[in-house]
A and B are shown apart, each in its own frame.
Chain A
Amino acid sequence: EADIYQTPRYLVIGTGKKITLECSQTMGHDKMYWYQQDPGMELHLIHYSYGVNSTEKGDLSSESTVSRIRTEHFPLTLESARPSHTSQYLCASEQGIGIQYFGAGTRLSVL
């Protein structure tokens, strides 16, 4: 069973608030990813990291930012949430090449 955790599971906030979505893994994986997925739609890569102090933007433009200060921790921050940010956010870590383990996700709703 994958040891990757996301908090909170659900979040409802008002427009303009700053939020941080947490993601932690205990598997020691260097590679970590953030995806955005609307219901019934495809996964979109928004950020990734190949190790401590390494972060890159993904294929989908996002107003969020990430940091990777510790191997096990890869938080995602929205400085000013908007209704267009309403979505599900999935965090994953990767073992070797291509074998990704996903967290349970955070469902974000911005009013």
Chain B
Amino acid sequence: QKEVEQNSGPLSVPEGAIASLNCTYSDRGSQSFFWYRQYSGKSPELIMSIYSNGDKEDGRFTAQLNKASQYVSLLIRDSQPSDSATYLCAVTSNTGKLIFGQGTTLQVKP
């Protein structure tokens, strides 16, 4: 079992729809959770961080965390073609190291 698991996709949604990206992790001691976005041919960039159970909103993005279920998600409202990218879930291990999932590719179709 991988430490951080994501469905590789591609996830395809129409423009204007809500995109839902999911991630599960295995280390119950994990304390910090992140979503990075990576455009094709570019480097990853941080878009969201979440540290406590519940929802955290930033513009069109909402991160959701459920530590009991070891589950993190990212919702993108009003998806735009410019949101088409690979989204990497990342979780800190109990040693403080950041563990990345394999990423989910999102395609937003005009």
The verdict on B17 contacting chain A, using a C-beta distance below 8 Å, is no
| Contact present for A98 and B32 (CB under 8 Å) | yes
- Count of residues in B whose CB is under 8 Å from the partner chain: 19
- Count of residues in A whose CB is under 8 Å from the partner chain: 16
| Contact present for B101 and A42 (CB under 8 Å) | yes
Interface residue ranges of B18-36 to A (CB < 8 Å): 32, 34, 36
Query: A-side interface residues toward B, CB under 8 Å?
Result: 41-43, 45, 48, 90, 94, 97-105
Other A-B contacts than A98-B90, A99-B46, 10 sampled, CB-CB below 8 A, are A41-B102, A43-B44, A43-B88, A43-B100, A94-B98, A97-B92, A99-B49, A100-B46, A103-B43, A104-B43
Query: B-side interface residues toward A, CB under 8 Å?
Result: 32, 34, 36, 42-46, 49, 88, 90, 92, 96-98, 100-103
Which 6 A/B pairs are nearest by Cβ-Cβ distance?
A102-B43, A42-B102, A98-B32, A43-B100, A98-B92, A98-B98
